[in-house]
Amino acid sequence: MELERVQQIASLSKCMDTIPTDYIRSENEQPAVTTFHGVVLEVPVIDLSDPDEGKIVGLISEASREWGIFQVVNHGIPDEVVRKLQQVGKEFFELPLEEKELVAKIPGSQNIEGYGTRLQKEVEGKKGWVDHLFHIIWPPSAINYRFWPKNPPSYRETSEDYAKRLRGVADKMFEYLSKGLGLEPSEMKDGMGGEDLIYMMKINYYPPCPRPDLALGVVAHTDMSGLTILVPNEVPGLQVFKDDYWYDVKYIPNALIVHIGDQIQILSNGKYKSVFHRTTVNKEMTRMSWPVFLEPPPEQEIGPIPKLVNEENPPKFKTKKFKDYAYCKLNKLPQ
Ligand SMILES: O=C(O)CCC(=O)C(=O)O
Ligand SMILES: [Fe+2]
């Protein structure tokens, strides 16, 4: 039988110094060859407790234009809430395989929710060294608990608590991003569907890999969300592409990592950049991450905000329903 979960492959290859050829990236993707090792530029870190709101708006706007990614500290979510989220996720992935399979993705279904391994069509048939769990955490009307682990028992309460708190941070981010473009505070969130915004959580589990120089976790991509707000564990691995090089994103305890996704790039008519990123894996340590993708509801039409379009700034993107955008992206069709 072909092993499907990377966690199984990893536990069998622990004592080896090779990995199955399916996981060996072509040279132009291999981290050992393509990671920048000179003077390191750092992804901006922004302190949300600064009393000068204008300064925060300026920093977020600049980071979103130049990098498409930044880290926020003093974001208001208590460390304990994040620590518990990490703990229940880790406990789930450490359960026996059969238990995890109870919440597996439904084969052949359009729904991406559940425990699984591959997400998109693979690049050149190569696989990523990562398993994941996907499920919606907000709004309550969109949640399907069938895909939420029953074990550990506190999984549900912990994830719900995180979702509630994350809403405060997300609302602030949309507000700052609006102001950074000279828009009314609510315009960006309204463009994303307002209170119908969907919070899709993913847990990435990257087991130790005997050849981290040759493999990748998540292959290079931009997120199709509007914004992605991510909690990492302490094992570094996220890299972003800027000015022709891949840069490591430094681990900062208790920070949240905010990615600009495709939908904000479109709404901003290209002023804010959807960040191109990927993840590397580690020889000894298990990396985990908890991105929450803030997505418009499927029927929401997304296009450049009319106020941002004029003669000098013609629309750079088509306006289309989010579900049509997602279909093209997942199937690697032109937008
Ligand atoms: O693990 C990470 O830090 C990033 C994962 C990621 O980019 C994704 O799941 O879309
Ligand atoms: Fe991503």
The ipTM (two decimal places) reads 0.99
* SS3 (DSSP) at 263: helix
Q: Which residue in 127, 202, 242, 271 is the catalytic one?
A: 202
Q: Which residues of the chain have pLDDT under 70?
A: 1-2, 15, 38-40, 119-124
Read off the amino acid at residue 252: I
221 catalytic per annotation: yes
Model confidence over 69-88: pLDDT tens digits? 999 999 999 999 999 999 99
Q: Which tokens sit at 191?
A: 């463009």
Q: Looking at the domain assignment, is residue 244 inside a domain?
A: yes
- The number of C-alpha atoms within 13 Å of 262 and in the hemisphere containing its C-beta is 19
CA of 302 to the centre of ligand 1 (A): 23
Q: Which atom of ligand 1 is nearest to the CA of 293?
A: 10
Do residues 247 and 240 lie in contact, with contact meaning Cβ atoms separated by under 8 Å?
yes
**Axis-axis angle for helices 79-93, 155-179 (nearest 10):** 130
pLDDT the model gives residue 122: 65
Q: Does ligand 1 lie within 6 Å of residue 262's CB atom?
A: no
Q: Which residue minimizes the CA distance to atom 3 of ligand 1?
A: 238
Show the domain range for 113: 6-297
CA of 278 to the centre of ligand 1 (A): 7
Number of domains observed in the structure of the chain:
1
Q: Looking at the domain assignment, is residue 78 inside a domain?
A: yes
In terms of Cα–Cα distance, which of 248, 247, 202 is closest to 225? Answer: 202
Provide the phi-psi class of 204: left if phi over 0, else alpha when psi is between -120 and 50, else beta: beta
SS (H, E, C) 48-64: CCCCCHHHHHHHHHHHH
Alpha-carbon distances of 217 from 31, 91, 199, 257, rounded to whole Å: 10, 20, 23, 18
Q: Looking at the domain assignment, is residue 1 inside a domain?
A: no
Q: Which residue minimizes the CA distance to atom 7 of ligand 1?
A: 278
Peptide bond into 253 cis (omega under 30): no
Question: What is the CATH classification number for the domain harbouring 80?
Answer: 2.60.120.330
Q: Which of 230, 274, 290 to mutate to test the pocket of ligand 1 (most atoms within 8 A of CB)?
A: 230
Model confidence over 12-70: pLDDT tens digits? 877 677 888 889 998 888 888 888 776 667 899 999 999 999 999 999 999 999 999 99
Q: Looking at the domain assignment, is residue 65 inside a domain?
A: yes
Q: Looking at the domain assignment, is residue 197 inside a domain?
A: yes
Read off the pTM. Answer: 0.94
